[in-house]
Chain A
Amino acid sequence: LAKTTQPISMDSYEGQEVNITCSHNNIATNDYITWYQQFPSQGPRFIIQGYKTKVTNEVASLFIPADRKSSTLSLPRVSLSDTAVYYCLAKRDNYGQNFVFGPGTRLSVLP
C-alpha cells in the first residue's frame, strides 16, 4: 500500500507564498485529499480538503491535477505562526477505513 510522499522539511520567509506538494500515485477513485496542520504540543487540525481541481478557503488553497496523483497545498503570505508540521492524507489503511498519517512536512517560517 503506497503512502503519500511529501518533503520532510521546508523553510520560508514571512510574507512569501509556500507550496507543499504531496505525491499519492495510488490514490483510490473515491478518496479525498486532506491536509492537516499540527503545532508543537497540539493535536492536528484540519486545514483543507478536495477531490479534484482547486479548493480555496480562508486559510489555504489546494490544487489537484486531473490525474489526482499529486496535490499542492498553497499557503499565501505565510507568517511566523504558520510554522508547523503539515500532513497530506490520501490513503486508507488495509482495512479501507482509516487514514494513514505519514511524517509530514515541517515548515519553518523565518523572519
Chain B
Amino acid sequence: NAGVTQTPKFQVLKTGQSMTLQCAQDMNHEYMSWYRQDPGMGLRLIHYSVGAGITDQGEVPNGYNVSRSTTEDFPLRLLSAAPSQTSVYFCASSYSLGRSDEQFFGPGTRLTVL
C-alpha cells in the first residue's frame, strides 16, 4: 500500500492564483481531512470528509474548497491564493471517526504564496 500520497511536494504561487492540492489514499478509509501547519505551530483542521459526497468545514475553512467524489481522493482547492495561506498542508485519513481510530498522514505540500 502507498498509504496517503500528496502532490505536489512544493508549490509557489502568486497572490490571486488558484490551484488544487491533490490527496489520495489506497486504504479504503472513509474519513479524510486537510490540515495546515504554520511554522512552530500545531496542525489546524481546514476541511474534512466522512465519506464520498460528504464534506464539512473545520477550524480554518475560509479560502479553501474541497470535494469528495470517490473514496480514494480528496483534493483541496485554493480559490484565490493569499500570502496568509503560505503553509505546509497535510492530508490525513482514517478508517472512520471512531474515538480510537489512528490517522495516517501524507508527506505534506509546502506552499508559498508571494
Interface of A with B (CB < 8 Å)?
30-32, 34, 36, 41-46, 49, 51, 87, 93, 95, 97-104
Pairs A-B, 3 closest by C-beta atoms = A43-B105, A101-B42, A101-B43
Q: Is B107 in contact with A42, judged by CB distance below 8 angstroms?
A: yes
Q: B104 — which chain A residues lie within 8 A by C-beta?
A: 46
Give min CB distance, A85 to chain B, whole Å: 9
Report the Cα distance A87→B35, complex, angstroms. Answer: 15
11 contacts between A and B (CB under 8 A): A32-B100, A43-B105, A44-B103, A46-B102, A46-B104, A51-B100, A97-B50, A98-B45, A99-B103, A101-B42, A101-B44
Q: Is B58 in contact with A49, judged by CB distance below 8 angstroms?
A: no
Report the Cα distance A103→B38, complex, angstroms. Answer: 10
